[in-house]
Amino acid sequence: MAWLELREGGWDRGAAATFAVLGAADGALLGAVRLSWVDRADGLALIGYWTLPAVRGRSVATRAVRAVTSWAFETADARRIEIAHATGNEASCRVAHRCGYPAEGTLRDSHRYGDGAYHDEHLHARLAADPEPAHIAA
């Protein structure tokens, strides 16, 4: 998988861990989740995710983000993980909430998207000490 091979070594460099999200039946690529360190020594990380349009609405991102979140807290010594998404991206907001990341505020002009302009983002965060979220159906 060339896409994943390009990201190999990120963890060894202390920068990020990228996980491919694969279909259980056929191993097809459905999306990805990436845990990037903001400050590894302090345990502060950022999680990002995407899924193919064909699998959206089927809890693929929710299951993947929950799995990587658990891994990061239990194995990678993360203390705080943040999710930031465009303010208009309601699907990402739902994923964050379902994964136990409460909203903390709006980051103004925080990220440059593909259109070249800076956009506001919602910030969500979860602490290692926070309880696991209850199972929420899609």
**Using one digit for the tens of pLDDT, what is the confidence trace for 106-122?**
999 999 999 999 999 99
Q: Summarize the chain as % helix, strand, coil (round to 5).
A: 25, 40, 35
Q: How far is CA 109 from the centre of its chain?
A: 20
Q: Measured at the alpha carbon of residue 125, what is the angle toward residues 43 and 128, in degrees to the nearest 5?
A: 50
Rounded CA separation 133/135 (Å):
6
- Give me the sheet containing 103-112, strands edge to edge: 16-22, 29-39, 44-51, 80-86, 118-127, 103-112
Query: CB-based contacts of 119: which residues, under 8 Å, 6+ apart?
Result: 86, 87, 109, 110, 111, 112, 113
pLDDT of residue 135: 72
- Nearest to 23, CA basis, from 68, 54, 69: 54
* Each residue's pLDDT tens digit, 79-99: 999 999 999 999 999 999 999
1-60 residue pLDDT tens: 554 555 555 555 567 899 999 998 899 999 999 999 999 999 999 999 999 999 998 999
If 0-12 CB within 10 Å is exposed, 13-18 middle and 19+ buried, where does residue 11 land? middle
Model confidence, pTM: 0.86
Residue whose structure tokens are 């999200």: 21
pLDDT for the residue numbered 59 = 92
